[in-house]
Amino acid sequence: MTTLDQAAAGCAGITLGLLWDISWHASVGRDTVWTPAHLTIYAGALLAGLPGAWEVLRATFAGTAAERGRSVAIWGMHGPLGAWLQVWGSAALLTAAGFDAWWHGAYGLDLGILTPAHTALATGMIAVHAGALCTARRQGRERVFVFLAGMLLLLLATLLIEVSYPNRQHGAVFYQLSCAAYPVVLVATARALDVRWAATRAAAVYTGLALAMLWVLPLFPAQPRLAPIFNAIDHMWPGLFPVMLIVPAAAVDALAGRPARISVPLLGAIFLVLFLAVQWPLAGLLLSPAARNPFFAGDQWYFGVTSHQEGIFPRLGEWRHRFWDAPPGAGQVALALAAATLSSAAGLTLGGFLSRLKR
């Protein structure tokens, strides 16, 4: 196994461990630093960070003059850009884990994902994935790059989980944040690689891994250990059915891949239109009785349920089967379009940078 393979495995441990951790909170409630999910995240951080540290040490003390000339120098140390990002991200993640433990001790359980401690954790996770992507592109490992891009999509989807319940998928916030988060990864992947359907394949990796977790997690028993318990579940919470990125990803591949050129506003508009076209009806399906089965995992709620309108920890009710947000107006759609355009522009810039990356 190469150092890049180790880094890719570490990124998988971080992201899948994060999904497992959210399911643990939703199913069990009690939390310590040493839960299996947390240990998976910490192990993933080490597995991704140590190869980067090795690359820096090797280039600094055993590299040739030409290798050091192609490296990034920081405080007299030399190493590839990807290695530096892996080291920094891993260190930030592990440091933030201690901050998170203190946060829980001081303020109790979190009622949301993006607390200050979790934001620091997320920053480290994204940096580790970005570093591994840089390393994969520099080494010409296109399959690993596609896998890592899919893992990054899964990480972003997990960070957006609070606005991604099917009940919120007819509202403006879901589409605005989705248009800000996903196009940058898809467009950068399509532009950075000389392979066909790179963005579509990355979206397929995301979809496949999200479905695997959706189907595997409920197979394991779990019992709530924290009051109030309004939903007496007996298995791990499956998470959410993945958003349908494959259709807009295929359009991104057709339009943004090198050497094709397209106007950025048109690229953003196409992403938004196609994402709306597939996700809007899927949201209705996910709230219907047809989705209340193991395949779609519809109507699955954790033991202390949080709804958008009913407040914290309400009892199960009819609110589960309706949309919580009003459909977006023209101004809100315009904001989503602006987000998709800016995200696509960032993806084109980032993809161009990665395609030329030499160090």
Would you state the pLDDT for residue 318? 81
Cis peptide leading into 228, omega within 30 of 0? yes
Give, for 312, the enclosing helix (H) or strand (E).
strand 311-312
Residue 126 has pLDDT above 80, yes or no: yes
How would residue 312 be classed by pLDDT, with cut points 50, 70 and 90?
very low
Report pLDDT digits (tens) over 138-176: 888 999 999 999 999 999 999 999 899 999 999 999 999
Q: Which of 306, 26, 352, 57 is nearest to 163 (CA)?
A: 306
What angle do the packed helices 81-107 and 36-61 form, to 10 degrees? 150
Would you state the pLDDT for residue 43? 93
Higher pLDDT, 304 or 323: 323
Give, for 307, the enclosing helix (H) or strand (E).
strand 306-307
Report pLDDT digits (tens) over 54-93: 888 888 887 777 767 677 778 878 888 888 899 999 998 8
Would you state the pLDDT for residue 302? 78
Would you state the pLDDT for residue 330? 92
Share of the chain above pLDDT 70, in %: 87
**Residue 337 near residue 269, CB atoms below 8 Å:** yes
Mean pLDDT for all residues in the chain: 86
Q: State mean pLDDT over 297-301.
A: 88
**Residue 41 near residue 98, CB atoms below 8 Å:** no
What angle do the packed helices 3-27 and 116-138 form, to 10 degrees? 150
Give, for 74, the enclosing helix (H) or strand (E).
strand 72-74
- Rounded CA separation 216/220 (Å): 8
Q: Which of 113, 132, 101 is nearest to 14 (CA)?
A: 132
Would you state the pLDDT for residue 307? 46
Q: Provide φ and ψ at 294, rounded to 5°.
A: -65, -25
Residue type, 255: L
Cis peptide leading into 259, omega within 30 of 0? yes
**Residue 257 φ/ψ region, left for φ over 0, alpha for ψ in the -120 to 50 degree band, beta for the rest:** beta
Would you state the pLDDT for residue 135? 92
Would you state the pLDDT for residue 94? 85
**Residue 297 near residue 239, CB atoms below 8 Å:** yes
Would you state the pLDDT for residue 279? 97
Residue type, 72: V
Would you state the pLDDT for residue 27? 83
Residue 229 has pLDDT above 80, yes or no: no
- Rounded CA separation 237/297 (Å): 9
* Sign for the pseudo-dihedral over CA of 289, 293, 297, 299: positive
Residue 25: partners with Cβ closer than 8 Å, 6 or more residues away: 31, 109, 302
109: its two tokens: 């359980």
Torsion angle, alpha carbons of 148, 240, 156, 47, to 10: -50
Rg (alpha carbons) of the chain, rounded to whole number:
21
Per-domain residue ranges of the chain = 1-139, 164-359
Report pLDDT digits (tens) over 18-64: 999 888 888 887 667 778 888 999 999 999 999 888 888 888 887 77
Among 18-22, 243-247, 350-354, the range of highest mean pLDDT: 243-247
Among 40-54, 171-185, 213-227, 255-269, the range of highest mean pLDDT: 171-185
91: its two tokens: 């260190």
Alpha-helical regions (H) of the chain: 3-27, 36-61, 65-69, 81-107, 116-138, 142-159, 172-192, 198-216, 246-256, 264-287, 330-355
User: Terminal CA-to-CA distance of the chain, rounded, Å?
Assistant: 22
**Residue 202 near residue 185, CB atoms below 8 Å:** yes
Report pLDDT digits (tens) over 195-216: 889 999 999 999 999 999 999 9
Residue 95 has pLDDT above 60, yes or no: yes
